[in-house]
Structure 1
Amino acid sequence: MASALRPAVRQVRPILSINESEARRRVFQLYKSWYRQVPYILADFDIPKNEKQCREKIREEFMKHAHVKDVRIIDMLVIKGQMELKETVNKWKNTPALMFYFKDTVEPKPTDFLSKFLASSQD
């Protein structure tokens, strides 16, 4: 007595946005809010960066998630971004927490024998 299996489709509730265009609008609003706050963040925190570097870093952080298409995930990322902005503007973060975004670039360690040998001889 095998019954025909039906694929179950589960309807999920949206978090903030109903469709992709609304989610996109929220992302742009958040991006503009961060962009506008850069001069104030630099005035409040003593970080060795200029406005251009900070705005490039904001763009880089947003572009990390450019591939995300699910509206619910986009909404969660927007909520997290809004919380980060609020913490930064209200000075609930300290300078090292902001500098965490500007991690030093680390050169990858050599893997082959000759590269390891040359790296050790330069020290």
Structure 2
Amino acid sequence: MGERAAAASLKFVTVQANSASLAEARARVFEFFKTTCRSIPTVMEIYNLQDVVNESQLRSAVSSEIRRHAHITNPKVIDMLLQKGTEELHNIVQHSKQRHHIIGQYVVGQRGLVHDLGTKDEGTSDFLKNFYRSNYF
């Protein structure tokens, strides 16, 4: 799916003004998650993320971002968060961000995936390993 097709699919995700109930807001969250998961292959292609993360790991990062707000029960707050999430997804699919923004925000940092530096820094000193780790959190 190309960039335009993913952008076109986002038109159906626009958040209504207010959810009538918590159940309706919850249904909208599930719909947003489905749309986001459908956009992941496009995002992977746009930002060339295959060497850093796979689709299931990125899906897990999105899921953890949604679960981080699971305690919220006010439908208006949920709608506001959905609006922000939809705007973020739109910006990502429209390539308004750079690759390092996506990696820093959704792959390495902010309670997403804690990416093990593993093989890329085998010859690096402990000081540099700690330095790199501290810059991603």
TM above 0.5, yes or no, is: yes
What residue in structure 2 maps to residue 103 of structure 1? 108
CA distance in 2, matches of 1:44, 1:102: 15
Partner residue in 1 for 2:53: 49
Question: Which structure is larger by alpha-carbon Rg, 1 or 2?
Answer: 1
Which structure has the highest helix share of the two?
2
Q: CA deviation at 1:30?
A: 0.5
Task: Give the distance between the partners of 2:56 and 2:108, measured in 1 at CA.
Answer: 17
Distance 1:40 1:101 in 2: 15
Partner in structure 2 of residue 7 of structure 1? none
Q: 2:132 aligns to what? A: none
CA displacement 1:42-84 (0-9 Å, x = unmatched): 0111221111111111111111011110111101000001001
Matching residue's letter, 1:31: F
Asked if residue 33 in structure 1 is aligned to residue 38 in structure 2, the reply is: no
CA drift at 1:93: 1.2
Equivalent residue for 1:85, pick from 79, 82, 89? 89
Unaligned runs of 5+ in 2: 1-15, 115-137
* RMSD (Å), alpha carbons: 1.9
- Structure 2: how far apart are the matches of 1:101 and 1:49? 10
**Contact preservation (8 Å) 2:43, 2:93:** yes
The CA distance in 2 between the partners of 1:15 and 1:72, in whole Å, is 9
- Normalising by structure 1, what TM-score? 0.69
Q: Find the counterpart in structure 1 of residue 120 from structure 2.
A: none
CA–CA distance in 2 between the matches of 1:15 and 1:73? Answer: 11
CA contact (8 A) 2:25 2:78 kept: yes
Identical positions, percent: 32
- Give the count of matched residue pairs: 93
AA aligned to 1:101 is Y
Structure 1 unaligned residues grouped into runs of 5+: 1-13, 106-123
Question: Normalising to structure 2: TM-score of the pair?
Answer: 0.63
